[in-house]
A and B are shown apart, each in its own frame.
Chain A
Amino acid sequence: MRKLFMLVALLLVVAGVACTAAPTPAPTAAPPTKAPAAPAFRVGLVTDVGKIDDKSFNQSTWEGVQKASKEIPGVTEIKYIETTDPKDYDKNIAQFADAKYDVIVTVGFALTDATYAAAKKYPSTKFVGIDQFLSKDKDHPDWPLSNLVGVTFDEDKAGYLAGALAAQLSKTGTIGAVLGTDVVPPVWRFGEGYRAGAKAINPNINIVVVYHSDVGFDKTFTDPEWGKTTALSQIDKKADVVFGAGGKTGNGALLGAAEKKVFCIGVDTDQYLTVPEAKGCLVSSAMKLLTPSTFNMIKAAKDGAFKGGLYTGPVGLAPYHDLDAQVPAAVKTKIQELDKGLQDGTIKTNVAPAKP
């Protein structure tokens, strides 16, 4: 009897493990077969350990791929692999590369080296590395590669605008920011840009910036409970604008702000559309336009216009939506001025590209 039950228990464990593996869609479950001879054009996407439905970063990139499949004739097949363990980056990229996908999009700073290695190994496949800054150095001696584009964004500029907006809206003189880990350069640029923008408006403003750097990559962007706790702690200390930037962790901060009825600012995409629960507090979002950037890269690859190297995607603030009436006209004008200044280079954020 006891043995029987150990067996049952063992089976349950196996079933459990099978379930864990199952969420990863088709490619892992059933490796794609060899490419058909027809002029198929296939795009694969490998996420970072965040989730594809994170309502911000991975999702926007995936939407760019989806847009490509809808709008570019000839893009026949799109698939994604969700990475669950940072050790699997190479394996996941190889699944698409071995199946001779035409374009492979890898999402996130953490995949930089894996993407570079894959681009060297599979010279006939085009690679798009989102948030991946590359330069010729000892880790990447052959940069630039003709089949690899590193797409980066000036997150510090978007963060700067968010900070400037927050500083102008704050009545208490304290503003907060809740972010993912500062080890990821785009997150760092958002956070420090926010600080710089707020200081530019009001040098005496009290800015509380908290990064979720105390946990690993696997948790830092998927911890909404921590995000909310941190936002509430900042609101306790009189913060009346909270910038939430870091996948679902940041979304948690937006929800905390919504609950306490203070302003909040989203990140990456226009989060008015992706986090409806925060509509009441969301005054804007610091956007990096991932969807069009991804789309453009795929289009270039399809049209044969793909050039290796770096590509800087556009950034900006999202519309004010429901809170439009609460943003004074003078503030709007100021934001427009700053946006223009940042774009033509007359205003500098002075934020280092990565945490020193």
Chain B
Amino acid sequence: MSLPRFAFILLTVGAIIATAVVIGGAQLPAALILVSMIRTTLQVATPLTLGALSGVYCERAGVVNIAIEGMMLLSAFFGFVASIYTNQAIAGTEITPTSTALSLIVGVTVAILIGGLSGAFHAALSVTFRVNQIISGTVINILAIGLTGYLNRQLFFQGQVPHAPGVLPTIHIPVLADLPVFGKIFEQQLIAITAIVLVVLTHFVLFHTPWGLRTRAVGEHPRAADTVGINVFKMRYANTIIGGMIAGLAGAYFTLESVPSFEPLMTNGRGFISLAAMIFGGWTPFGAWAASLVFGAAQALQINAQGFGIPVPSQFVGMLPYILTMIALTGIVGKTSAPAADGIAYEKTGG
């Protein structure tokens, strides 16, 4: 991640937030808008950040993961199903604090496992059987739409559906959350905070551990990595599964953190936006996070501008991050490139 690009991305986030403060300043105190914008930005960016991190793990190891969207959707669905049936098993039709806590833990765990499982499936197709990785990812995406849509209808349309136990709690971060005015920014739920922790953790793992070095080696030059004794297949499998698990956590955001219900197609393309954010952020954890914030801030601006009665078409604001991604891809603001072996299946013999 080149510094100019990182600065460019962060400046963009700042500019979007400043825009909201300026246009709403006549109606509301600036601090109130600022705090609300930042809080909303962080919230909206959560699934995008996780999705982009999922992409970073997979692609750094040389596996293109276009299936983030499908993985999110599958995990959102199965995590939700697991949580409501766990609650039913523990407390029947009641919702008690214990049953809520337990069923949310089960729900999130199932979501992560389902994500890991679909990651393993993607790895099996694309690493072991060397199916074109775009095809493999597309298969998972289409499968996810069909499977969740069908099961959703079967489980939830007829008869008595168990009550949803609620959503993950808002975490009270000591000191930060107690700040006057700005404390509200840190009123975030569990997965939103985990996402930020994972950004830092991923950066450390990728760039400061032997594991990260090996991961990057198999993504850049698998043959060279192989000759020095790194098991290319194992590394690719492991990273794709980890990526899947993080996408699973992103799925949990939709049904266990945001709203306690599942809708067919509720991920609404955020998996693909995550991919854009990952590329915009130059395949680095911090870059991907910053880019996710751009998308988050754009949506926050959209919500706010309309509330202020500003007649800018909301579609235009929504378009902004994509235009910025394209600008970033032209290389004007610091050049980055994909891992050299990204998307190329590795064969031990030949080639």
Q: Mark A residues whose CB is within 8 Å of B.
A: 1-2, 5-6, 9, 12-13, 15-20, 22-23, 51-53, 176, 206, 208-211, 213-215, 219, 222-225, 227-230, 232-234, 236-238, 248, 251-252, 255, 259, 276-277
Task: Please determine whether B143 and A15 come into contact, CB atoms closer than 8 angstroms.
Answer: yes
Task: Identify which of A1, A6, A238, A277 contacts B164 (C-beta below 8 A).
Answer: A277
Q: Which residue of A lies closest to B307 (CB)?
A: A208
Task: Please determine whether B260 and A222 come into contact, CB atoms closer than 8 angstroms.
Answer: no
Task: Please determine whether B146 and A237 come into contact, CB atoms closer than 8 angstroms.
Answer: no
Task: Please determine whether A16 and B145 come into contact, CB atoms closer than 8 angstroms.
Answer: yes
Task: Identify which of A12, A214, A237 contacts B36 (C-beta below 8 A).
Answer: A237
Interface of chain B residues 88 through 113 with chain A (CB within 8 A) = none
User: B209 at interface (Cβ–Cβ under 8 A)?
Assistant: no
Q: Which residue of A lies closest to B184 (CB)?
A: A236
Task: Please determine whether A23 and B164 come into contact, CB atoms closer than 8 angstroms.
Answer: no
Return chain A residues, CB-CB under 8 Å to B263: 51, 222-224, 248
Task: Please determine whether B32 and A206 come into contact, CB atoms closer than 8 angstroms.
Answer: no
Task: Please determine whether B36 and A236 come into contact, CB atoms closer than 8 angstroms.
Answer: yes
User: B153 at interface (Cβ–Cβ under 8 A)?
Assistant: yes
Contact with A along B143-157 (1 / 0, CB 8 A): 101110110110011
Return chain A residues, CB-CB under 8 Å to B145: 16, 20
Can you sample 12 A-B contacts with CB below 8 Å? A2-B131, A5-B129, A23-B153, A52-B157, A206-B27, A211-B306, A222-B265, A224-B259, A229-B303, A252-B259, A255-B261, A259-B167
Contact with A along B50-86 (1 / 0, CB 8 A): 0000000000000000000000000000000000000
Interface centre among A2, A22, A230 (most CB of B within 10 A): A230
Task: Please determine whether A233 and B266 come into contact, CB atoms closer than 8 angstroms.
Answer: no
Q: Which residue of B lies closest to A224 (CB)?
A: B259
A251 to chain B, nearest CB (A): 7
Given contacts A6-B131, A255-B260, contact A19 B40 (CB under 8 A): no
12 more CB-based (< 8 A) A-B contacts, given A20-B150, A224-B258: A9-B136, A12-B143, A19-B146, A23-B150, A206-B27, A209-B306, A209-B307, A210-B306, A223-B268, A224-B263, A229-B258, A236-B40
Return chain B residues, CB-CB under 8 Å to A233: 36, 39-40, 300, 303-304, 307
Q: Mark B residues whose CB is within 8 Å of A.
A: 27-28, 32-33, 35-36, 39-40, 43-44, 125, 129-131, 135-136, 138-139, 142-143, 145-147, 149-150, 152-153, 156-157, 163-164, 166-167, 184, 254, 258-261, 263-266, 268, 299-300, 302-304, 306-307, 314-315, 317-318
Complex CA distance for A238 and B32, rounded to whole angstroms = 9
Q: Which residue of B lies closest to A236 (CB)?
A: B36
Return chain A residues, CB-CB under 8 Å to B304: 233
Complex CA distance for A163 and B169, rounded to whole angstroms = 31
Return chain B residues, CB-CB under 8 Å to A16: 139, 142-143, 145-147
| Dominant secondary structure at the B interface | helix
A67 to chain B, nearest CB (A): 17
Complex CA distance for A209 and B305, rounded to whole angstroms = 10
Return chain B residues, CB-CB under 8 Å to A176: 307
Task: Please determine whether A19 and B302 come into contact, CB atoms closer than 8 angstroms.
Answer: no
Return chain B residues, CB-CB under 8 Å to A18: 146
Task: Please determine whether A19 and B27 come into contact, CB atoms closer than 8 angstroms.
Answer: no
Complex CA distance for A232 and B143, rounded to whole angstroms = 33
- Top 6 closest pairs, chain A to chain B, by CB: A19-B146, A236-B36, A16-B146, A16-B142, A208-B307, A214-B314
Task: Please determine whether B307 and A229 come into contact, CB atoms closer than 8 angstroms.
Answer: no
| Dominant secondary structure at the A interface | helix
Task: Please determine whether B32 and A15 come into contact, CB atoms closer than 8 angstroms.
Answer: no
A53 to chain B, nearest CB (A): 5
Task: Please determine whether B303 and A222 come into contact, CB atoms closer than 8 angstroms.
Answer: no
Complex CA distance for A5 and B136, rounded to whole angstroms = 10
B79 to chain A, nearest CB (A): 14
Task: Please determine whether B146 and A15 come into contact, CB atoms closer than 8 angstroms.
Answer: yes
Return chain B residues, CB-CB under 8 Å to A232: 39-40, 43
Complex CA distance for A12 and B131, rounded to whole angstroms = 13
Task: Please determine whether B33 and A237 come into contact, CB atoms closer than 8 angstroms.
Answer: yes
Task: Please determine whether A53 and B129 come into contact, CB atoms closer than 8 angstroms.
Answer: no
Task: Please determine whether B307 and A234 come into contact, CB atoms closer than 8 angstroms.
Answer: yes
Return chain B residues, CB-CB under 8 Å to A22: 146, 150, 153
Return chain A residues, CB-CB under 8 Å to B44: 229
Q: Which residue of B lies closest to A174 (CB)?
A: B28
Task: Please determine whether B163 and A214 come into contact, CB atoms closer than 8 angstroms.
Answer: no
Complex CA distance for A29 and B22, rounded to whole angstroms = 54
Complex CA distance for A248 and B164, rounded to whole angstroms = 15
Return chain A residues, CB-CB under 8 Å to B136: 9
Return chain B residues, CB-CB under 8 Å to A15: 143, 146
Complex CA distance for A2 and B149, rounded to whole angstroms = 30
Complex CA distance for A36 and B319, rounded to whole angstroms = 54
Task: Identify which of B33, B149, B166, B299 contacts A20 (C-beta below 8 A).
Answer: B149
Task: Identify which of A210, A222, A225 contacts B264 (C-beta below 8 A).
Answer: A222
Task: Please determine whether A12 and B264 come into contact, CB atoms closer than 8 angstroms.
Answer: no
Return chain A residues, CB-CB under 8 Å to B40: 229, 232-233, 236
Task: Identify which of A53, A222, A236 contacts B157 (C-beta below 8 A).
Answer: A53
Complex CA distance for A1 and B124, rounded to whole angstroms = 13
Task: Please determine whether B146 and A236 come into contact, CB atoms closer than 8 angstroms.
Answer: no
Task: Identify which of B125, B260, B303, B307 contacts A277 (C-beta below 8 A).
Answer: B260
Complex CA distance for A230 and B44, rounded to whole angstroms = 10
Given contacts A13-B142, A224-B266, contact A236 B302 (CB under 8 A): no
